Structure 1
Amino acid sequence: MKEYKAEKKRISQAIFIVLVYAALGCLAAGAWSAEATVVTYPAPDGAELADDFVVKIDGKETAVYDSKVAAFAYFSFSGKVTVSVIPGRDVETVDIRPKRHGIAFSIKGRAVSFQLDRPCNLSIEINGDIKRPFFLFANPLEQNPPKPGDENVRYFEAGRIHRAGEIKLSSGETIYIAGGAIVRGRIRAEEAENARVTGRGILDGSGRDYKTQMVKLSGCSNVELSGIIVFNSFGWTLVPVKSDNVRFANVKVVGWRDNDDGVDIVGCTNLSVESCFLRTKDDCIAVKASPGYFEEGESGLRNVRNVRVIDSVLWNAEWGNAMEIGFELQTKSVSDILFRNCDIIHVERGGTFTIHNGDFATVENIRFEDIRVEDSREKLIELRVGLSIYSGDCPWELHRQNPQRKRSPLGQWVRPEADKVQEFAVKRGHIRNIYFKNIAVTGLKLPKSYLIGYNDAHSVENVVIENLSFNGGRILGAEDGGFTIERAKNVRFAESDDMR
Structure 2
Amino acid sequence: MNDTQSTGLSRRTVIQAAGAAAAAYSLVGTAAGTAAADDRPEAADRLVIHPVPGSMPINTTFVVKARTPGGQWKPVPVLRVGTKTINEKTGGGIIRQTSVAGLDFTGTVEVQVTWSKGAIPSARIRPLSYGITPEVSGDTLTFSLTEPRNLSIEIDGDIYGNLQLHANPIEMTRPEADDPDVIYFGPGVHTVPNNLLQVPSGKTVYLAGGAVLKAQVSFKNVENARLTGRGIIAETDGGTTVAFSKNIEIDGILVMNLKTGYSCTIGQSKQVTVRNLHSYSSGQWGDGIDVFSSEDVLIEGVWMRNSDDCIAIYAHRWDYYGDCRNVTVRNSTLWADVAHPVNMGTHGNPEKPETIENIVFSNIDILQHREPQVLYQGCFALNPGDSNLIRNVRIQDVRVEDFTWGQLINMRVMANRYNAAPGRGIQNVYVRNLTYDGTHANMAIMTGYNADRPIDSVTFQNLAINGTVVYDKMRKPGWYLTTDMVPMYANEHVKNLRFLDSATAASTTAPEITSAGEATATARQVFNHLVTASALPTSFSAEGLPKGLDIDTATGQISGTPQVPGAYPVTVSATNSVGTATKSVTLTVQHP
Structure 2 length-normalised TM: 0.70
Q: Which amino acid aligns with 2:107?
A: G
Q: Secondary structure at 2:52's aligned position in 1?
A: coil
Which residue of 1 is the match for residue 281 of structure 2? 255
Residue 488 of structure 2 is aligned to residue 483 of structure 1: yes
Q: Measure how far apart 1:134 and its partner are.
A: 0.6
Q: Distance in 1 between matches of 2:120 and 2:42?
A: 35
In structure 2, C-alpha distance between the alignment counterparts of 1:353 and 1:190, rounded to whole Å? 30
Query: Is 2:213 aligned against 1:186?
Result: no
Does 1:354 find its partner at 2:376?
no
Q: 2:341 aligns with which of 316, 319, 322?
A: 322
Matched residue, 1:312: 332
Aligned match of 1:399: none
TM-score by length of 1: 0.82
SS of structure 1 residue aligned to 2:379:
strand
Q: How does 1:77-96 map to 2 (within 5 A)?
A: 77-89=105-117, 90-96=119-125
* Residue in structure 2 matched with residue 268 of structure 1 by the alignment: 294
1:229 deviates by 0.4
User: Is residue 315–residue 355 contact of structure 2 (8 Å, CA) maintained in 1?
Assistant: no
Q: Which moved more, 1:334-343 or 1:94-103?
A: 94-103
Distance, in Å, in 2 between the alignment partners of 1:329 and 1:113 is 49
Letter of the 2:80 counterpart: D
Q: Which shifted more, 162-171 or 238-247?
A: 162-171
Residues 446 and 470 in structure 1, CA contact (< 8 A), matched pair in contact too: no
Q: What is the match of residue 138 of structure 1?
A: 167
Amino acid at match of 1:116: L
2:410 counterpart of 1:373: no
Deviates more, 1:191-200 or 1:428-437: 428-437
State whether structure 2 residue 79 is matched by structure 1 residue 65: yes
Whether 2:58 is the aligned partner of 1:54: answer: no
Partner of 1:154: 183
Give the Cα–Cα distance (whole angstroms) in 1 for the partners of residues 44 and 64 of structure 2. 20
The superposition leaves residues 79-127 of structure 1 with CA deviations (integer Å, 9 ceiling, x where unpaired) of 1111011121231111211111111211111111000111111111111
What residue number does 1:298 align with? none
Q: How does 1:278-297 map to 2 (within 5 A)?
A: 278-294=304-320
Name the aligned partner's letter for residue 182 of structure 1: V
Q: Which runs of 5+ in 1 are unaligned?
A: 1-31, 295-300, 394-426
Instruction: Answer whether contact 1:305 1:335 (CA < 8 A) is retained.
Output: yes
The offset of 1:37, in angstroms, is 0.6
Report how far residue 446 of structure 1 moved: 4.4
1:450 offset after TM fit, Å? Answer: 0.6
Q: Secondary structure at the match of 1:248?
A: strand
Q: In the alignment, is the contact (CA less than 8 A) between 1:244 and 1:268 conserved in 2?
A: yes
Question: Could you tell me which amino acid in structure 1 is paired with residue 241 of structure 2?
Answer: K
CA deviation profile, 1:246-270 (whole Å, cap 9, x unmatched): 0000010011222111000000000
SS in structure 2 opposite 1:478?
helix
Distance 1:446 1:292 in 2: 34
In structure 2, how many angstroms separate the alpha carbons of the residues matched to 1:333 and 1:182?
A: 38
**SS state of the match for residue 64, structure 2?**
strand
Q: Which structure has the larger Rg over C-alpha atoms?
A: 1
Question: Which amino acid letter does the alignment assign opposite residue 126 of structure 1?
Answer: I
Whether contact under 8 Å (1:312, 1:343) holds in the other structure is: yes
Of residues 315, 339, 347, the one that matches 2:361 is 339
Q: CA deviation at 1:348?
A: 2.0
Q: 1-side partners of 2:218 and 2:330: how far apart?
A: 25
| 2: CA distance, partners of 1:360 / 1:333 | 9
Letter in 1 for 2:280: V
> Which 4+ runs in 1 deviate beyond 3 A?
32-35
SS at structure 2 position matched to 1:365: strand
Deviates more, 1:326-335 or 1:73-82: 326-335
Match of 1:229 among 254, 267, 271: 254
Residue 496 (str. 1) matches residue 502 (str. 2): yes
% identical aligned pairs: 31
SS in 2 for 1:225: strand
Contact 2:124–2:133 (CA under 8 A) maintained in structure 1: no
1:326-358: CA deviations, max 9, x gaps? 211334211000000011111122310111111
Q: Counterpart of 1:392 in 2: which secondary structure?
A: coil
Q: Give the secondary structure class of the aligned counterpart of 1:131.
A: coil
In the alignment of these two chains, the number of paired residues is 423
The superposition leaves residues 342-381 of structure 1 with CA deviations (integer Å, 9 ceiling, x where unpaired) of 1111112231011111121221000100001012331011
Determine if contact 1:34/1:80 at 8 Å carries over to the other structure.
no
Aligned-CA RMSD value = 1.5
Decide whether aligned partners of structure 1 residues 34 and 449 sit closer, same or farther in structure 2, where only a CA change above 3 A counts.
farther
* Residue matched to 1:163: 191
Asked if 1:449 corresponds to 2:475, the answer is no
Q: Give the superposition deviation at 1:445.
A: 4.2
> What stretches of structure 2 of length at least 5 have no aligned partner?
1-40, 68-72, 84-97, 372-376, 472-481, 506-576, 578-592
CA deviations on 1:386-422 (whole Å, 9 max, x unpaired) are 21111134xxxxxxxxxxxxxxxxxxxxxxxxxxxxx
AA at the equivalent of 1:154: I
**Letter matched to residue 38 of structure 1:** L
- The residue identity in structure 2 corresponding to 1:93 is S
CA deviation after TM superposition for structure 1 residue 34, in Å: 7.4
**AA in 1 matched with 2:495:** K
Counterpart code for 2:324: V
What amino acid is aligned across from residue 239 of structure 1 in structure 2? T
Once the two structures are superposed, residues 130-169 of structure 1 have per-residue CA deviations (whole angstroms, 9 ceiling, x without a partner) of: 11111101111101111211121010001x1112321011
Cα distance in 1 between the residues matched to 2:172 and 2:312: 31
Which amino acid letter does the alignment assign opposite residue 221 of structure 1? K
**d(CA) in 2 for partners of 1:357, 1:329:** 8
CA shift at 1:35, angstroms?
A: 4.5
Whether the 8 Å CA contact 1:155–1:176 is kept in 2: the answer is: yes
